[in-house]
Structure 1
Amino acid sequence: MSIRINPSVLNCDFMRIGEELDRIADADRAHIDVMDNHFVPNLTFGPSMVEQMARRSPIPLDAHLMITDADRHAVAFAEAGAESVTFHLEAAQAPVRLARELRKAGAQVGVALRPATPVEPLLDILGEFDMVLVMTVEPGFGGQSFLDSMLPKIRRVREAISAANLELSVQVDGGIKRETIGRAAEAGADVFVAGSAVYSVDDAAAEIAALRRLAAEHSH
């Protein structure tokens, strides 16, 4: 499994978003948390802001849509230039159709699960996706602590992907830092969203490198 580090811009200085994107140029993708103040109690970016970031960013965008009515709004983020678009299973009426629409719009497709959402409804449709995002905090705000109770879920997702003989990434988002990334990698994650861990240090590139190394040491 190739390890990918996708820093979340949720923890950056929004007044200097261009330079903040440049700080993470060594990462694999910039993780863009899209929140609508309905699905989660926070409000961030719409498609036009994502489009501006896609034009400016030195690395591709990984858009995580924490929005209700994903069926109606998700494709706009693919059209805005996000390389990968992840919607929440809880927010989609027709996840298979939406996955195919996103792919037609040129994006890779991820599906996300909140901590309390079981893996089982996904198992028969795993082949429609490029990535499963297991939330390791309740979505909505940066800086929360990693939920170790999600490790068995990461393991179940990875085992289901292997059993179906599929090639999917398993992304984790929430509380990822040097102290927790090894446990998530050991459980089967290979894409790691780190927000405050990267943006709270002076040398973001060194932190990205350290996280990548620790994840690689623990991955199978």
Structure 2
Amino acid sequence: MKLLAPSILSADFWRLGEQVEAVVRGGADIIHFDVMDGHFVPNITFGPVLLESIKRHCHLPLDAHLMIENADKYIPEFVKAGADWISVHIENNPHIHRTLQLIKGLGAKAGVVINPGTSLHVIEEALYYADFVLLMSVNPGFGGQKFIERSVDRLRKLRQMVNSINPNILIEIDGGIKEDNVSDLVRAGADVFVIGSGIFSYEDIEEQTRRIKKKLTALEAV
């Protein structure tokens, strides 16, 4: 099943609750949170308090992508706030096995994230322990960036790695994903599609969510 994960980073925070409800009605499968601390990436966004607020009113799984330093320190807070999926970067989490086990031990799905400039071989060992892997198709830090075309080839190679090491892993892709490039990403092997401005920049967010979800469902059936 191909899963759609709208990223609230691109939402209008004045209307955040309303817009989350719109993507839920439109058929979103997961709500994605881009958590940034201004150290690992050059931006600051939000923390567990916001996630907890949405959890009280949203039945969908919440996916916390932690672009932060000292992730192990904050993981319990995000789980307590209601995160169902938590992912951390291979680039700044040297004890990745321990971190993934921490996430799983707290009852959440554990993911490993890899940036565009990092060799896929770096995450090979982590694939034995993760529930999902998040392939960045832009440099993390800001929404609305242009998709890095080489990410399609990286996705194909990652799909081969996952199939040979741990076929149960889901591959999530995040960055510059729009309605017009999801077809290529489905064919290359992605399972979960994080989309920010490709949904929230539209006047009718519910309808845009529904349109992309319908396209993913149709592609899955091919």
Shorter-chain TM range is over 0.9
| Count of residues in correspondence between the two structures | 219
Deviation (angstroms), 1:216:
4.2
Query: Residue by residue, what CA displacement relative to the aligned partner does 1:112-152 show, whole Å, maximum 9, x if unpaired?
Result: 11110111121123121111110011111111111111111
Give the % identical residues: 37
**Aligned positions of 1:101-112 closer than 5 A:** 101-112=102-113
Q: Which residue of 1 aligns with 2:200?
A: 199
Judge which range, 197-206 or 168-177, deviates more: 197-206
- Partner SS, residue 56 of structure 1: coil
Query: Residue by residue, what CA displacement relative to the aligned partner does 1:1-40 show, whole Å, maximum 9, x if unpaired?
Result: x100000001111122221211111200110110001111
CA contact (8 A) 2:112 2:126 kept: no
The TM-score with structure 1 as length reference comes to 0.93
CA distance in 1, matches of 2:15, 2:207: 20
Q: Which residue of 2 aligns with 1:10?
A: 9
CA contact (8 A) 1:183 1:218 kept: no
CA distance in 2, matches of 1:75, 1:138: 26
Q: Which residue of 2 aligns with 1:64?
A: 65
The TM-score with structure 2 as length reference comes to 0.92
CA contact (8 A) 1:136 1:173 kept: yes
- Partner SS, residue 39 of structure 2: coil
Closer, same or farther in 2 for the Cα pair 1:177/1:166, shift >3 Å?
same
**Aligned positions of 1:3-82 closer than 5 A:** 3-25=2-24, 26-82=27-83
CA contact (8 A) 1:84 1:109 kept: yes
Deviation (angstroms), 1:218:
4.5
Q: Which residue of 1 aligns with 2:191?
A: 190
1:123 aligns with 2:132: no
CA contact (8 A) 1:31 1:61 kept: yes
Judge which range, 85-94 or 71-80, deviates more: 71-80
CA contact (8 A) 1:34 1:64 kept: yes
**RCO higher in structure (CA 8 A, sep ≥6):** 2
Q: Which runs of 4+ in 1 moved over 4 A?
A: 216-220
Structure 2 portions without partners, runs of 5+: none
- Partner SS, residue 212 of structure 2: helix
- Partner SS, residue 144 of structure 1: coil
CA distance in 2, matches of 1:128, 1:78: 19
CA contact (8 A) 1:74 1:87 kept: no
CA distance in 2, matches of 1:61, 1:126: 22
